């Protein structure tokens, strides 16, 4: 066992974390390119913190432009043990009103063309995504959100859309028929990549609007979203601090810590050393560079 270092990926409405001690911005280089921004590192009590603004400071990056591989790799390089993602979402259910928080536990992926894996030709792996979030971290996040005064729904299916446009009414109603609860643009491939990097992942969705399925009211627009973002932000920051201060000094191991043990399929003799080198942070625990043949 060891201590916690929580990677916090802040989406729309969460651009900083208050109360971080010994904080400093750290630039991290990755084999996958540049992450969204520098990462603000420090601690709160006995817990290490690494905060990454998902869209960059000033919200510079569109959802489809995010380099999710670089973001997850950078957090792993900094020694992050678990990832708490915070995102603004639209509601697809009457009971999930703007201002409420949903602790997501399932995803449906409707994104298009995003790179969703660290693995591929030269090193193939297949991780399980049956249960795509960490139930332990999700429960802790739900408790922290309630302690911060938020109305919380524990569990919910997140529809990941491509964006950056919002849904059509036909799409919004289709996703409701599928049983989806909230909709957003950024959690995929982030959650998939976190799993490949053996990082337990939890997602808190802060509801800003009812998407566009309600026929008797105006469709969602950015102005309405921004108004609700401001209302959600204080609770989101308080939730993060509650979560960090509630963690025990020792971090119990998680099954996700070793999920690559049953995921690698490429034979050691067929592994590409160049690919293995790129995987040094996310999969270095289970991969070793192939030995050079003797001459």
Choose the catalytic residue: 109, 209, 272, 280: 209
The answer to whether the peptide bond before residue 189 is cis (omega within 30 degrees of 0) is yes
Q: Is residue 208 part of a domain?
A: yes
Q: Is residue 100 part of a domain?
A: yes
pLDDT of amino acid 15: 61
Treating both helix axes as pointing N-terminal to C-terminal, what angle do 187-196 and 68-77 enclose, rounded to 10 degrees?
40
Range of the domain at 182: 5-283
Please tell me whether residue 225 adopts helix, strand or coil conformation. Answer: helix
Asked if residue 187 lies in contact with residue 203, where contact means CB atoms within 8 angstroms, the answer is yes
Residue 294 has pLDDT above 60, yes or no: no
Kindly write down the DSSP assignment for every residue of 195-214, as one continuous string. Answer: HHTT--EEEEEEEEE-TT--
Phi/psi for 27 (5° steps) reads -85, 130
Q: Is residue 295 part of a domain?
A: no
Q: Is the dihedral of CA 12, 16, 18, 20 positive or negative?
A: positive
Round the average pLDDT of the chain to a whole number and report it: 93
Residue 113 falls in which region: left (phi positive, over 0), alpha (psi -120 to 50) or beta: left
Choose the catalytic residue: 211, 221, 272, 280: 211
Across 128-144, average pLDDT: 98
Kindly write down the DSSP assignment for every residue of 45-111, as one continuous string. Answer: TTEEEEEEETTTTTT---GGG--HHHHHHHHHHTT--EEEEEEEEEE-STTS-TT-EEEE-EEEEE-
Pick the most confident of 49-58, 227-236, 283-292: 49-58
Clarify whether 131 is annotated catalytic: no
Clarify whether 22 is annotated catalytic: no
Q: Is residue 180 part of a domain?
A: yes
pLDDT of amino acid 295: 37
User: What is this structure's pTM?
Assistant: 0.94
Q: Is residue 20 part of a domain?
A: yes
CATH number of the domain within which 14 lies: 3.40.50.1580
Q: Is residue 288 part of a domain?
A: no
Q: Is residue 293 part of a domain?
A: no
Residue 253 falls in which region: left (phi positive, over 0), alpha (psi -120 to 50) or beta: beta
Instruction: Give the chain's domain count.
Output: 1
Q: Give residue 16's pLDDT band: very low, low, confident or very high (50, 70, 90).
A: low
Across 83-109, average pLDDT: 96
Among candidate residues 111, 79, 74, 104, the one with its CA nearest the CA of residue 90 = 104
Q: Is residue 290 part of a domain?
A: no
Helices (H), the chain: 68-77, 135-147, 169-177, 187-196, 222-246, 273-278, 280-283
Across 123-139, average pLDDT: 98
Residue corresponding to tokens 């808190």: 204
pLDDT tens readout for residues 153-184? 999 999 999 999 999 999 999 999 999 999 99
The answer to whether the peptide bond before residue 164 is cis (omega within 30 degrees of 0) is yes
CA atoms within 13 A on the CB side of 53: 20
Q: Give residue 293's pLDDT band: very low, low, confident or very high (50, 70, 90).
A: very low
């Amino acid at each position: 066992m060891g201590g916690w270092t929580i990677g916090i990926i802040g989406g729309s409405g969460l651009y900083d974390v208050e109360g971080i001690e010994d904080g400093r911005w750290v630039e991290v280089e990755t084999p996958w390119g540049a992450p969204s921004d520098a990462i603000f590192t420090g601690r709160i009590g006995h817990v290490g913190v690494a905060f990454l603004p998902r869209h960059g400071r000033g919200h510079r990056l569109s959802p489809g432009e995010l380099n999710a591989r670089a973001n997850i790799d950078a957090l792993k390089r900094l020694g992050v043990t678990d990832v708490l993602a915070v995102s603004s979402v639209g509601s697809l259910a009457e009971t999930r009103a703007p201002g409420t928080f949903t602790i997501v536990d399932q995803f449906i992926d409707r994104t298009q063309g995003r790179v969703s894996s660290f693995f591929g030709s030269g090193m193939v792996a297949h991780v399980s995504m049956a249960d795509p979030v960490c139930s332990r971290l999700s429960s802790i996040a739900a408790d922290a959100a309630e302690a911060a005064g938020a109305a919380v729904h524990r569990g919910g299916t997140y529809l990941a859309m491509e964006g950056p446009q919002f849904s059509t009414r036909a799409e919004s109603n289709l996703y409701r028929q599928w049983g989806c609860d909230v909709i957003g643009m950024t959690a995929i491939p982030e959650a998939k990549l976190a799993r490949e990097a053996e990082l337990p992942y939890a997602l808190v969705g802060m509801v800003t609007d009812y998407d566009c399925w309600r026929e008797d009211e105006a469709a969602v627009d950015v102005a309405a979203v921004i108004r609700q973002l401001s209302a959600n932000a204080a609770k989101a920051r308080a939730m993060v601090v509650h979560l960090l201060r509630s963690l025990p000094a020792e971090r119990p191991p998680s099954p996700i810590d070793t999920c690559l043990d049953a995921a690698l399929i490429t034979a050691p003799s067929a592994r590409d050393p160049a690919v293995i080198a790129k995987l040094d942070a996310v999969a270095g625990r289970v991969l070793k560079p192939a030995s050079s043949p003797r001459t």
